[in-house]
Amino acid sequence: MIAEIISTGDEVLTGTVVDANAAWIAARLYETGIVVGRHVCVGDDMDRLTDVFFEAGQRADIAIVTGGLGPTLDDITASAAARAAGVELEENQEALAYMTVFFKRFGRPLSDSDAKQSLLPRGASPLLNSVGTAPGFTLKIGRCRFFFLPGVPFEMRQMMDEHVIVSLEADAARNGTGSFYREKRLSLFGLPEAHVNERLADLTGVIDNVKLGMLAEFPVIHVKLAASGHNEKALEAAVSAAADRVRQRVGEYVFSETGQTMEEVVGDLLIRRSATLALAESCTGGMIASRITNVAGSSRYFLCSAVTYSNEAKMRLLGVPADTLDAFGAVSEQTARQMAEGARRLAGSDYAVSVSGIAGPGGGTPEKPVGTVCIGLCGPAQSFARQYQFPFENRMANKRIFAETALNLLRKTLNA
């Protein structure tokens, strides 16, 4: 089955709005065993929209279209679909009745502009929107069955699951063409993308019918293993065997196989050990604390963070001796270790992590160039610090990799 995704709207075409819808739809289709062959983005232009719909109708089996179903003048998707199908727009009574009830629930009358959303191509079947006003619809154009959905992400996702996936799965069951999809994603940190590629080069492509791909999400590398077919157990076995082969090459760098972020993995480890955490951040400016607290339930283990950017703050809040700063500097293993010890003492936590580094683009020296960071860790059984050197001049890149490295060091310590 050939599937296409068509994203509409000038704001998407020009990059004003990032098209996250297409990525989500593609992933959702893959989960049902449907492979996307093409993704097209087109602006609010009647002729171009009509051409794109007509062309897709000649080559695809299904097409998912997002955007352009609202009440404004530039919402012309339904009109273009009608032109491509060679039919007229007509008021759909089912869609109109549903919208009337929807607006009545909020004590609002249905305006003429809102009522425009019930004008659908003749022969279209409405897809009612349980979380918004704009109904979607499904329509056959050429050989292709089109599903038209709103561009608002939460409305689109709800309707995709309520209408599109349900319909496609019912068709597959009825025709005996259903297939399964299995995917495993291994998340790695600490090995550059080029090195990951070298280690997996002879596996890249297809491993026993399992596709291997890599996605760089700096500073993390994701190795994705995916397979589709009609035998569910065989797929699971194939993906599992492929994952074993990948682990043989890069297993020491894998921190998650469940899609968890580094902070989520660390949070789970702390909960399992009934342990608490405090932070002392300098160059990362609170980035690690922000990531930790982005995880729901982090109040079970996270106590506090001190952003001690200046030497004075390191001395006054964390108790780092002036002699240490004078002798070794703020970016040193000695200072980082004493920062971690001070944060643990201040918070009364089981563990504390500290970071002090040079994010750049200025501030580096020949001995400690931009990209140098010292990370301290203090726990019940040990207190130590490590120095790392990264080759980046970009300030945000350094802050992100400093934060990831600090969390990874904590993860390894907790696992040990």
DSSP 10-43: HHHHTTSS--HHHHHHHHHHHHTT-EEEEEEEE-
The pLDDT, as a whole number, for residue 304 is 97
Higher pLDDT, 362 or 33: 362
314 and 408 both lie in a single domain: yes
* Mean pLDDT within 217-237: 90
At 271-318, the pLDDT tens digits run 999 999 999 999 999 999 999 999 999 999 999 999 999 999 999 999
Q: Residues with Cβ < 8 Å from 391, sequence gap 6 or more?
A: 371
What's the pLDDT band for 331 if we cut at 50, 70, 90?
A: very high
* Mean pLDDT within 336-346: 98
The pLDDT, as a whole number, for residue 171 is 83
167 and 274 both lie in a single domain: no
Q: How far is CA 56 from the centre of its chain?
A: 28
157 and 187 both lie in a single domain: no
Domain boundary among 142, 175, 208: 175
Distance between CA atoms of 155 and 164, rounded to whole angstroms?
13
Q: Look up the domain containing 77 and give its range.
A: 2-175
Contact 210, 238 (CB under 8 A): yes
Residue 229 reports pLDDT greater than 90: no
CA distances from 368 to 193, 338, 340, 415 (A): 25, 19, 21, 31
Q: Specify which residues 121 forms β-bridges with.
A: 89
* CATH number for position 106: 3.40.980.10
Domain boundary among 221, 237, 256: 256
The pLDDT, as a whole number, for residue 106 is 79
Domain boundary among 256, 278, 307: 256
- In percent, how much of the chain has pLDDT > 70? 99
* Mean pLDDT within 233-242: 92
At 121-157, the pLDDT tens digits run 999 999 999 888 889 999 999 999 999 999 999 999 9
* Mean pLDDT within 346-371: 97
Please state which of the ranges 109-123, 353-367, 396-410 shows the lowest mean pLDDT.
Answer: 109-123
Identify whether 369 is preceded by a cis peptide bond (ω within 30 of 0).
Answer: no
**Residue 16 in tokens:** 């004003």
336 and 280 both lie in a single domain: yes
Distance between CA atoms of 322 and 336, rounded to whole angstroms?
13
- Which residue from 21, 15, 22 is spatially nearest to 43, judged by alpha carbons? 15
Residue 174 reports pLDDT greater than 90: no
Domains held by the chain: number: 3
**Which H helix or E strand runs over 119?**
strand 119-121
389 and 277 both lie in a single domain: yes
Distance between CA atoms of 27 and 7, rounded to whole angstroms?
15
268 and 398 both lie in a single domain: yes
Contact 106, 114 (CB under 8 A): no
Distance between CA atoms of 48 and 80, rounded to whole angstroms?
9
Ramachandran region of residue 68, left (φ > 0), alpha (ψ -120 to 50) or beta? left
75 and 34 both lie in a single domain: yes
The pLDDT, as a whole number, for residue 301 is 98
Q: Residues with Cβ < 8 Å from 368, sequence gap 6 or more?
A: 329, 331, 358
25 and 144 both lie in a single domain: yes
Residue 96 reports pLDDT greater than 70: yes
What's the pLDDT band for 383 if we cut at 50, 70, 90?
A: very high
* CATH number for position 217: 3.30.70.2860
Contact 218, 399 (CB under 8 A): no
347 and 401 both lie in a single domain: yes
233 and 287 both lie in a single domain: no
The pLDDT, as a whole number, for residue 337 is 98
Burial class of residue 331 in the structure, from the number of CB atoms within 10 Å of its CB (0-12 exposed, 13-18 middle, 19+ buried): buried
364 and 272 both lie in a single domain: yes
**Which H helix or E strand runs over 137?**
strand 136-141
pTM across the whole model: 0.75
* Mean pLDDT within 366-376: 97
Identify whether 109 is preceded by a cis peptide bond (ω within 30 of 0).
Answer: no
Average pLDDT, the chain: 94
- Which residue from 199, 61, 196, 240 is spatially nearest to 142, judged by alpha carbons? 61
* Mean pLDDT within 342-355: 98
